[in-house]
Amino acid sequence: MIRKARISDVVEMKQIINTYSKEELMLARSLSEIYENIRDYYVCEIAGEIVGCCALHVVWEDLAEILALAVRPDCSRKGVGSKLVSSCLEDAKELGMKEVFALTYVPGFFETMEFNIVDKNSLPRKIWSGCIRCPKFPDCNEIAVLRSIDA
């Protein structure tokens, strides 16, 4: 079941995200960062347990980012990530976003969801709004993907 995240989900969400951050496959998220942005997050809950999460963060009037997409390893490749991203895309559409992007090490996953690989430099607002705070900046090797949102 995909639903909006609740405060009671945050500890499990952090554990799932940080499983991948330890392997440097995504950025770590602190409890405070997740709490502060809880309204951006969706979770997948199966049998009362959080097995995945994903956030849609508005960057500008026409641009949003999908971030913190993480699925528990034992639940990967079962459609959980796709469902989470689809929920974020639906939210973006309802908000009136024109484009949604992500920075990823797995561009093929996003390409199956109609995202296209783009040059990170085509996302200047992102660079200044989020990337500048990243410990990997400016030497990030994530790949930017972008998708237009149908009105």
Encode pLDDT of 60-111 as tens digits: 899 999 999 999 999 988 999 999 999 999 999 999 999 999 999 899 999 9
Q: With respect to residue 151, please indicate whether it lies within any of the assigned structural domains.
A: no
Q: With respect to residue 23, please indicate whether it lies within any of the assigned structural domains.
A: yes
Q: The tokens of 4 are what?
A: 């909006």
Query: In residues, how long is the chain?
Result: 151
Distance CA(123)–CA(125), nearest Å, equals: 6
Q: What is the rounded average pLDDT of the residues 3-20? A: 96
Residue where the block lists tokens 């040059």:
119
Distance CA(42)–CA(111), nearest Å, equals: 21
Q: Is the separation of the CB atoms in 2 and 44 below 8 Å?
A: yes
CATH of the domain at 113: 3.40.630.30
User: Range of 135's domain?
Assistant: 1-146
Q: With respect to residue 97, please indicate whether it lies within any of the assigned structural domains.
A: yes
> How many domains does the chain divide into?
1
Stated pTM of the model: 0.90
